Amino acid sequence: MTLQERLSVLIKLGELLSAPDEYREAVIHRSYYHNQWLTKENQRLALESIANHMLQPDKLDQWLQRYDMHEPEAPLKVGLVLAGNIPLVGFHDVLCVFVAGHRSIIKLSDKDPYLLPFLLKRLGEIDPRTKAYFEIVERLDDFDAVIATGSNNSARYFEAYFGKYPHIIRRNRNAVAVLTGAESAEELHRLGDDVFRYFGLGCRNVAKLYLPKGYKFEALLTALHEYREVVNHSKYKNNFDYNYALFMLNKVSYEANGCILLTENSSLQSHIGGLHYEYYESEEQLREELAERQKEIQCVISRKNFPDIPVFDFGQAQEPELWDYADGVDTLQFLLDL
């Protein structure tokens, strides 16, 4: 298939995802039954985001204008180790390999084993030639390059196993939000999307707040309380209640509003149902802190700009465009250079 043919089937897939589909709904139900962190609403949100941000003709054109696109002399096999913390989190990698003209050898996450095969099935129905571009395997053992996503612990194993091949290996990262105290109620409400969407399990979810000295929490807690329905999810509530009890027993100081716990902590990774915060003395000190921890930060949510770190508006953390690469590594250029 030529690049234009591959783009054409992707655009048609986007159109299908925007139309009613009983089989898609059945897959969504099956995924939720398999893993209740993948709620039906969150699966639909992920599919909608893919359709609106990754499979639109203008978005694809805007993305690919940045590159010297060419067909590979000989398509390579690219092993993909996909994460499963949020629905379809690995789709962008699959898309990049397909657009570059290579073959994906896919190791699915046990947490999300149904949604991607559904999308590949739909691609095959649009154009049967796409089937040659994708293979789902239980174990990677025949590949030319690797893109693997996991935790800091699993990354060490990935480095040992895949290090001799061209590779991208991703580790734990989180988003942070920098507040000034002058944010509007609407901005703080939109921040709730960055915190709560997908229960905060994504690498783009805000897990840490940087606050000015003397910050008043009332407006923030009020805005985040509008997401209180999240505690109706049993798994989230169990985590929230467990950590609430621990804080009380250990006499840890916290701010709470019934659906999230805020604690002062230097770590960029917070527990489920929690949000860390840290005070900054000056903007200069904050910039130095973010620069030092750049490799731990996926993106920043703020009114302010920060060098060398992607900055998004409130509510946009989980709405990445095609060119918003995980860990700041240009996946498509990596594939074009193979």
Q: Does residue 108 surpass a pLDDT of 90? A: yes
Return the minimum-mean-pLDDT range out of 154-158, 244-248, 319-323.
154-158
- Angle at which helix 40-53 crosses helix 3-17, to 10 degrees, equals 140
* Average pLDDT score over residue span 236-265: 96
What pLDDT is stored for residue 286 in this prediction?
Answer: 94
What 3-state DSSP class applies to 301? strand
Report percent pLDDT > 70 for the chain.
Answer: 100
What pLDDT is stored for residue 305 in this prediction?
Answer: 87
Delimiting residues of CATH 3.40.605.10 domain(s) in the chain: 3-171
Q: Does residue 145 surpass a pLDDT of 90? A: yes
Starting at the edge strand found earlier in the chain, the sheet holding 261-264 runs: 255-256, 261-264, 274-280, 206-212, 174-178, 297-301, 311-312
Domain 174-312: which CATH number of 3.40.309.10, 3.40.1190.20, 3.90.1150.60, 3.10.20.600: 3.40.309.10
> Are 320 and 53 spatial neighbours (Cβ–Cβ below 8 Å)?
yes
- Which residues touch 164 (CB under 8 Å, ≥6 apart)? none
How do residues 268-293 score in pLDDT, each as one tens digit? 999 999 999 999 999 999 999 999 99
Confidence of residue 227 (pLDDT cuts 50, 70, 90): very high
CA R_g for the chain: 21
What pLDDT is stored for residue 309 in this prediction?
Answer: 86
How do residues 65-81 score in pLDDT, each as one tens digit? 999 999 999 999 999 99
- Which residues touch 236 (CB under 8 Å, ≥6 apart)? 199, 230, 272, 273
Neighbour count for residue 164 (Cβ, 10 Å): 8
What 3-state DSSP class applies to 82? coil
Q: Does residue 194 surpass a pLDDT of 90? A: yes
Q: Does residue 137 surpass a pLDDT of 90? A: yes
What pLDDT is stored for residue 308 in this prediction?
Answer: 81
What 3-state DSSP class applies to 159? helix
- Across the chain, which distance is largest between two alpha carbons, in Å? 63
What is the average pLDDT score of the chain?
Answer: 96
C-alpha closest to that of 320 among 16, 26, 96: 96
Write the CATH number of the domain with boundaries 3-171.
Answer: 3.40.605.10
What pLDDT is stored for residue 306 in this prediction?
Answer: 86
Confidence of residue 92 (pLDDT cuts 50, 70, 90): very high
Confidence of residue 331 (pLDDT cuts 50, 70, 90): very high
Delimiting residues of CATH 3.40.309.10 domain(s) in the chain: 174-312
What pLDDT is stored for residue 58 in this prediction?
Answer: 97
> Are 109 and 138 spatial neighbours (Cβ–Cβ below 8 Å)?
no
How do residues 293-305 score in pLDDT, each as one tens digit? 999 999 999 998 8
* Average pLDDT score over residue span 12-24: 97
Q: Does residue 307 surpass a pLDDT of 90? A: no
Confidence of residue 191 (pLDDT cuts 50, 70, 90): very high
Q: How far apart are CA 32 and CA 112, in angstroms?
A: 9
> Are 6 and 126 spatial neighbours (Cβ–Cβ below 8 Å)?
no
